Amino acid sequence: MTAPVTPLRVAIGGDHAGYSLKQVVAEQLAESAMAQLVGGVIDCGTNSTERCDYPDFAIAVSREILAGNADRGIVVCGSGVGVSVAANKIPGIRAAICHDTYSAHQGVEHDDMNVLCIGGRIIGSELAMEIVRSFLAARYTPGERHQRRLDKVLEIERLGSDALGL
């Protein structure tokens, strides 16, 4: 794995269940030690542990990516499942739950994943930061088989339910 040539702009958000971990990750991303990987952090909320809805933050982070304000996104909820489901409904977003470093970099390298989903009730801050570093340092490797598969995913996205051929 090699670090990107230019630091990435990262949008981060999470619901009440992911708030604590989101705060830790956002703060560490903004530290100078991360400057080689991160050129800026956009905090999309939430800003407290008051109950709120995870889809709102999947949308907020995705909006920043699709508007060109962020290169990658990180969303955090209790398990990582809800934000992953919600983010993957948005055209142009390829999100996955990663609770290990291999999935975090492989998802970018093979599948051009642009949103990392993590569970604030599942992993601790140290592991989360290892996973985040792995995700941010990875680059898509558009070899023939990876591109062929990504093209099929993009076609499913384009066709929606028509891809089922029913």
- Catalytic positions are 77, 110
Q: Which residues contact 44 (CB under 8 A, 6 or more apart)?
A: 11, 12, 13, 57, 60, 61, 64
Distance CA 156, CA 85 (A): 16
